[in-house]
Amino acid sequence: MKRLRLGHDWEIAFNEQRLIEFDGEEIVVRRTSDNDWIAHSRYCPHQNADLKDSQISGNVLRCPWHGLQFDLASGQNLTNQCSPLSVFDVVIEKGEVYIYALHPPSRQQIYLGRYGWDLRVGTFTSDLNEQLSVNQDYVAQTNRGAERVTILALSKNSERSLVAGRILRNISGEQRFDASVVPKTLTYLESAIGRLETGIQLIHVEKLLDGNMVAYLLGEPTRALGPLAAVATRDLERQIWFEFVNLEA
């Protein structure tokens, strides 16, 4: 297996990253504040955005240009809007840091799951070392955030499925939240969207398990919603995600 020695682990500080060339491409190697090691291609496979300072939450990397999210365990784009991101193994051997080229991903089981206020159906990989139970609720990471997913079935078309996200863990009572922030968010967004004068209607606001908010809309998408989402995220101190509802589905 191809590998590259990066140095001693004590030579790389917490929250430090390094740019190196390995296996024919530039890659970013990061050591997080939790002492996790991450290695991935420097450039996004979508439109070559530089990912060296990109945001990472949990095991998901977010591209700074278009917000595409990648699973750092597999490189899979969580919304399947582009090719996977190249990711690499980081292994500490006797205090020395080595970068390994990953094996081709193993064949994973893909599940059909229902999620979201509008009861959309998508496919999910799983981080759990067990077969998931039908009609059981789990916590999943999607491009919108952490949310509740009900497993419907094992997908029969796993090789060509569009992956909506991945199952993280069983759901528990710890996933309850204070819904009092929903009316505040609803009032704020109704006023802000009304000022755009686009004819877009806000029909529902959903709070996800991680506190992110999804605003469901009717109407035609407009670029003005991008800046609005950024301002709302700042003002409300939580991630705001706009989702248009397809009434013909």
pLDDT for the residue numbered 206: 94
150 near 137, Cβ under 8 Å? yes
pLDDT over 80 at 195, yes or no: yes
Distance of alpha carbon 23 from alpha carbon 26, whole angstroms: 8
Computed over every residue of the chain, the mean pLDDT equals 84
What pLDDT sits at residue 193?
94
* Tokens standing for residue 68: 């595409």
Residue 81 has pLDDT above 80, yes or no: no
- 143-163: per-residue pLDDT in tens? 788 899 999 998 765 444 456
40 forms beta bridges with 28, 87
In this predicted structure, the answer to whether residue 122 has a pLDDT above a threshold of 50 is yes
- 174 pLDDT above the threshold of 60: no
Q: Where are the beta strands (DSSP E) in the chain?
A: 3-8, 16-22, 25-31, 37-41, 55-57, 60-62, 69-71, 87-93, 96-101, 111-115, 120-126, 137-142, 146-154, 163-170, 201-207, 213-218, 240-244
**pLDDT value for 80:** 63
Residues 233, 239 contacting (CB under 8 angstroms): yes
- Work out the average pLDDT over 125-146: 86
Q: How confident is the model at residue 95 (pLDDT cuts 50, 70, 90)?
A: confident
Task: Name the more confident of 1 and 21.
Answer: 21
Pairing of strands 87-93, 37-41: antiparallel
Please say if the pLDDT value at position 19 is more than 90. Answer: yes
The pLDDT score that the predictor gives to residue 72 is 86
Lowest mean pLDDT among 39-43, 117-121, 245-249: 245-249
Looking at residue 191, its pLDDT comes to 95
Share of the chain above pLDDT 90, in %: 29
Q: Which domains, and CATH codes, for the chain?
A: 3-101 (2.102.10.10), 111-175 (no CATH), 181-244 (3.30.300)
Interval 220-242 mean pLDDT:
87
Task: Summarize the confidence of residues 201-212 as an average pLDDT.
Answer: 91
